[in-house]
Amino acid sequence: MNLFTYQLKQAFLSLKKKPGFVFSVISTMGITLGALLCVLTLAYVMLIKPLPYTDQERIYKIEQAPFSTTSNNSFQGLSYPAALEIYKQKQQFERVAISYYGEEVLTSSESKPLLSTSYVTPDWLPLFNGNMLMGRTFEQRESLNDFAPTAILSHQTWQEYFDHDNDIVGKKISVKGATFTVIGVLSADFYQPKLGRITQLYLPWGYNTASESQKGHWGRFSRSLTMIAMININFAKEQVEQSLTLATDELWQEKVSSMAYFADWQSKVAMTSLKEVLINKSRDSIYLLIAAALGVVLIALTNISNLFISHITTQASVISVHIGLGAKKHHIGKLILVEALLMMTLAIGVALAVTQLGFHILQSYLADVFSRSQELSIDGITYLLAFTFLIMLSVFYTKVSLSVFNFSQMPKNSGNKGVAGQVKSRVRYFLIACQVSIALTLIFLMLTIYKAAMTEIKTPLGFTSEKIMQLTLVSATNEAISDDENKSMLAEIKRSLSLHANIIAVSQSSSPLAGFRVFRRGLKYEGSTGEERIVAGIKDADAEYFSMLNLTLKEGEVFSKAMIADDQAVMIVNDVMAKEIDANGSVIGKRLSMRGDDYFTIVGVVEGAVKVPDQQSIVRQAYLPAEQLSKQFIFEYRSAQAPTKEVLLNIINSVTSKFGVFEYESVENSQKSLLFSQYLTAYTTSILTIITVVLASLGLYGVTHLSTQMRRFEIGTRMAIGAKGKDIISMVINDNAGAILLGVGVSVLTLLALYFGLGERITSYFTLALIPLFIVTLALISLISFLACYLPLRQYINKPVIHALKGSE
Amino acid sequence: MSTAILSLHNIGKIFETEELETHALKSINLIINKGDYVSISGPSGCGKSTLLSIMGLLDVSSSGEYFIEGVNVTDLSLDDAAEVRNAKIGFIFQSFNLIDELSVFDNVALPLRYHADKPNNATIKKRVTECLEKVALSHRISHKPNQLSGGQQQRVAIARALVANPAVLLVDEPTGNLDSKSGDQVMDVLDQLNKAGTTICMVTHDPRYADMARTKVQLLDGTILQSPAIKIAS
């Protein structure tokens, strides 16, 4: 048996006698390191790891970025004609492709599923290494203006709707009234970039569903359009941007020149690397997660350091024997290192299991936030990090343990009773200051973020959401239906719904939570010079909308049935907007225009603003008469339970089989979905706060408990010569106050550094209103610190002095 | 007429565990008068240290009554007992019990810092210096305990015990951790203090040092063996 194996065996036997200590170390370090490994692997995948596409560093998303030359107004997006114009500039690209997202019913399938569809040009799939399981990808014959009726299925679609049909290539499918031939099925390992919805069916670009007006309008940007290109190896990004700007700006200005609003605008082309696009807004979340995980690990580190110190002081007599027999500091260090390595190896095992669980949670619930979460797996990076932690922590705990002993005095003291290692006051000071600063910083940050999330969750919606359902219909037929027929069917569906015993009222409007269209150019009111415009959110509503949602009418009237039927140019505004138009008088009868001389007359003013999550800044709100072609409904139900989807399908089928149900859920559920990230933030921060408080409490208690134990004879002596309980309490508090104050100081400096270092990203969270929260957090930490000082003393100050002095001789 | 400083009446002490009841002291009656120099000795486990702890209010008796300068201190609260210890009793421990982080001056000054009427700094300095002079260590006033020899540390402990002008010094095996030369020096200091009027009650198992006391109390199995020199409380 070599020396290491022998030491390993000795360490195992020694630790076997201390299951509580071993369990605490392995569980605490395992869970916290697992969280850190998970977050660091996520950071690597999201921020560092190259995308799994050939020459991924040359792949960019291309957009237009019009900007006003006289104000700070600007925005970014892509219009249909601009996309086609850029598409033509092929000399700068090795590959370029456009996609138009849509949703179509697979009418050839019995279940008529609604599929996410992408209408793409031929290079779309090759850009993303789209290998085929069978068949072929799109070719030039399916290019821009070619109408080759072909289709490619995603692997999942092939499995789910075509039952793994190995003979699918060459078969016909029906989508949107047209027949397409399946030419291929994508391979299971195709990694689809999350640029919007996950596509289930790819169709040639020529069949895209953009409206004619959209196709010709340079000023109308579409969220459905995405343009991706791999730039030629000989070109730099800036060169391509400049060249494309030159090619499109003049054309853009010419095409929008009729719109007065864009008179002083120019347009440039902006390219964002695909990697940056996929990182999107998740960078801050990742940094926050790293900070939180690091904080918790640091607290765990100080706690476990304390446990190691406590453990090693109980081994003092054994170590004294080793020293007496000639062992030097490095020999003792090796003994401790083997123990530390053994425990850290087990902790890393637990950490890897926790990491895997973390990946599962991220992939299941946070795929929308972290677009590359599907790439997460325990791989080389995770193992490398784990190994690094294993070595670093083992060495760290060995050093901490060794710091307890004064080796120059050990042999001299080894024969004395009661001479254990003493926690050096600077070690205690450091541990306490660390605990306090990390805990105070983390708890304050977590509570701040929690408060912000809860404020959003608790913000009243501004309307009654109880017992309101939202329903969206979808066309379920290949037939072309005229607008009049559609209107008639939809009106009949509305009438049938309202006749159901469990339904009180029906409105042919979208859910209030569907949000407002923001009219960036602003509305002009009659008589204004054209410069005075009111930027507002606009929504379509019908006669039933306002009463159903309990939106209080302050003045005038709501839309009548006649106004909706006749499509009258009327408008209802909220009181915030009314005040903006006329601060003192009535706005009824005033006229507002969205473009040109098409004026809407204000007929009513409603009270307050509807608060849509993510659109809370839109406080000026206006309503226009809803289109009778709208397939969106909301209705109020009577009994405790809303009508089931089957009941609704029966009602709709009693009118027509040409519509199916696309979406059906309560407004309250929709609100919860919209507030998902806020709920998630609130849960995560509250759990992290609790973990931090528990870990910090245990850590502070552990340090002071050990320190108090080590000072037992001193405490006994002081009491023997006349110190009272309160004298001892104030002595311990005074001794620790410096470390606590240092911790508070470091925390304040850290928060200030964050405030000034992160600037705007954090200033929205940090306001003076948080001072009371900081005081509460400080009070919490002070209370924890006080209890940590007081509780370990009780065993001495509440008993006769002899208990503290036992063994001192 | 002699003035009783400590007066113990039928003091008993029982240590109880779940399975065992040990009678450490059985009906101890003892009076120590002002100016006495009493040694308590006996074999290991006879109850010497337990008796000293009760006399020093470090522990409470299971039965009997205890008076210090005529005041019944049997059932004092922990805080009241602390006040009495501070004002009336000076302790000298076998292992010195000095506080390593404090200088010699601060160690000696400690009882005055806990005094009910805490003296001002000038008074503290004067008293500490006087006491250190008594033990011939005024030149070590700024040193830390670990810079002193064992004998010097014990003399610092004696100075600390004297600083608050206690009614009695309770001394527990003062030479237990010292070599014979240092032990002799410490015993000389105690002898001189007693000659100067300090009342001393010392626990020792060393017959040579026990003989230095003017009154010797022999304990055996928690009971005082009768001796002509012992004053028994009536």
| Domain enclosing residue A723, as ranges | 428-461+672-809
Query: Which chain B residue lies closest to A735 (C-alpha atoms)?
Result: B101
Asked if B58 and A717 come within 8 Å (Cβ–Cβ), the reply is: no
Q: Is A556 domain-assigned? A: yes
Mean pLDDT of A73-101: 87
Q: Identify whether residues A790 and A765 lie together within a single domain.
A: yes
**Is-contact A190 A107, C-beta < 8 A?**
no
Q: Identify whether residues A610 and A507 lie together within a single domain.
A: yes
Asked if B59 and A801 come within 8 Å (Cβ–Cβ), the reply is: yes
What span, in angstroms and rounded, lies between the C-alpha atoms of A506 and A494?
A: 7
Residues A413-434 have pLDDT tens digits of 443 333 344 556 777 788 888 8
Asked if A725 and B78 come within 8 Å (Cβ–Cβ), the reply is: yes
Q: Which residues 425-484 on chain A approach chain B with CB closer than 8 angstroms? A: 425
Q: Identify whether residues A76 and A165 lie together within a single domain.
A: yes
Mean pLDDT of A648-652: 89
Q: Identify whether residues A104 and A161 lie together within a single domain.
A: yes
Query: Which pLDDT score, from 0 to 100, does residue A529 have?
Result: 64
Residues A456-492 have pLDDT tens digits of 888 888 888 899 999 988 776 656 678 889 899 999 9
Which residues are paired to A61 by β-bridges?
A228, A272
Q: Is A275 domain-assigned? A: no
> If 0-12 CB within 10 Å is exposed, 13-18 middle and 19+ buried, where does residue A499 land?
exposed
What span, in angstroms and rounded, lies between the C-alpha atoms of A499 and A493?
A: 10
Q: Is the dihedral of CA B76, B79, B80, B84 positive or negative?
A: positive
Residue B200, phi then psi, degrees to nearest 5: -130, 135
Q: Identify whether residues A118 and A130 lie together within a single domain.
A: yes
Residues A259-292 have pLDDT tens digits of 666 777 788 899 999 998 888 777 878 888 898 8
Mean pLDDT of A218-231: 86
Asked if B86 and A722 come within 8 Å (Cβ–Cβ), the reply is: yes
> If 0-12 CB within 10 Å is exposed, 13-18 middle and 19+ buried, where does residue A298 land?
buried
Q: Identify whether residues A377 and A361 lie together within a single domain.
A: yes
Q: Identify whether residues A451 and A496 lie together within a single domain.
A: no
pLDDT band at residue A412, thresholds of 50, 70 and 90?
A: very low
- Could you give the ipTM of this predicted complex? 0.93
Looking at A647, A671, A695, which one is the last position of a domain? A671
Is residue B84 over pLDDT 90? yes
A20 touches chain B (CB under 8 A): no
Q: A805 to chain B: which residues are within 8 Å by CB?
A: 58, 93, 97
What span, in angstroms and rounded, lies between the C-alpha atoms of A226 and A62?
A: 8
Q: Determine the distance in angstroms separating the CA of A721 from the nearest CA of chain B, rounded to an integer.
A: 5
> If 0-12 CB within 10 Å is exposed, 13-18 middle and 19+ buried, where does residue A764 land?
exposed
Cα separations in angstroms, A466 against A190, A455, A462, A548: 43, 20, 12, 10
Query: Which chain A residue lies closest to B87 (C-alpha atoms)?
Result: A722
More confident residue, A412 or A284: A284
Residues B29-54 have pLDDT tens digits of 999 999 999 999 988 888 998 999 99
Q: Which of A715, A717, A730, A731 to probe by mutation at the B interface, max B CB count within 10 Å?
A: A717
Residues A150-208 have pLDDT tens digits of 999 999 999 999 999 999 999 999 886 688 999 999 999 888 888 877 899 999 998 88
Q: Is A351 domain-assigned? A: yes
Q: Identify whether residues A488 and A587 lie together within a single domain.
A: yes
Q: B99 to chain A: which residues are within 8 Å by CB?
A: 714, 717-718
Provide DSSP, A452-484. HHHHHHHS--SS--TTEEEEEEEE--SS---HH
What span, in angstroms and rounded, lies between the C-alpha atoms of B108 and B129?
A: 9
Q: Which residues 42-71 on chain B approach chain A with CB closer than 8 angstroms? A: 49, 53, 56-60
pLDDT above 70 as % of chain A: 93
Q: Identify whether residues A144 and A292 lie together within a single domain.
A: no
Q: Identify whether residues A488 and A447 lie together within a single domain.
A: no
Asked if A718 and B60 come within 8 Å (Cβ–Cβ), the reply is: no
Task: Please tell me the total count of domains within chain A.
Answer: 4
pTM of the full structure: 0.71
Query: Which pLDDT score, from 0 to 100, does residue A195 have?
Result: 82
Q: Identify whether residues A450 and A490 lie together within a single domain.
A: no
Q: Give the distance, in angstroms, between the CA of residue A378 and the centroid of all CA atoms in the same chain.
A: 22
Q: Identify whether residues A664 and A696 lie together within a single domain.
A: no
Q: Given A718, A720, A725, which is nearest B58 (Cβ)?
A: A720
- CATH code for B36-58+78-225? 3.40.50.300
B160 touches chain A (CB under 8 A): yes
Q: Give the distance, in angstroms, between the CA of residue B119 and the centroid of all CA atoms in the same chain.
A: 23
Q: Write out the two tokens for A19.
A: 């299951």
Query: Which pLDDT score, from 0 to 100, does residue A808 have?
Result: 61
Asked if A805 and B86 come within 8 Å (Cβ–Cβ), the reply is: no
Q: Is the dihedral of CA A322, A323, A327, A328 positive or negative?
A: positive
Q: Determine the distance in angstroms separating the CA of A431 from the nearest CA of chain B, rounded to an integer.
A: 20
What span, in angstroms and rounded, lies between the C-alpha atoms of A138 and A118?
A: 13
pLDDT band at residue B20, thresholds of 50, 70 and 90?
A: confident
Q: Give the distance, in angstroms, between the CA of residue A665 and the centroid of all CA atoms in the same chain.
A: 23
Is residue A763 over pLDDT 70? no
Q: If you average pLDDT over every residue of chain B, what do you get?
A: 89
**Is-contact A514 A549, C-beta < 8 A?**
no
Residues A303-354 have pLDDT tens digits of 888 788 878 877 777 777 777 777 788 888 888 899 999 999 999 999 999 9
Query: Which pLDDT score, from 0 to 100, does residue A622 have?
Result: 92
**Is-contact A184 A120, C-beta < 8 A?**
no
What span, in angstroms and rounded, lies between the C-alpha atoms of A781 and A775?
A: 10
Q: If you average pLDDT over every residue of chain A, what do you get?
A: 85
B153 touches chain A (CB under 8 A): no
Residues B22-31 have pLDDT tens digits of 899 999 999 9
Q: Determine the distance in angstroms separating the CA of B111 from the nearest CA of chain A, rounded to an integer.
A: 6
Cα separations in angstroms, A786 against A305, A439, A710: 21, 15, 19
Asked if A720 and B85 come within 8 Å (Cβ–Cβ), the reply is: yes
The residues, any chain, with a CB within 8 Å of residue B130's CB and separated by 6 or more, are none
Mean pLDDT of A49-77: 85
Q: Which of B48, B75, B85 to probe by mutation at the A interface, max A CB count within 10 Å?
A: B85
Q: Is A623 domain-assigned? A: yes
Mean pLDDT of B115-140: 91
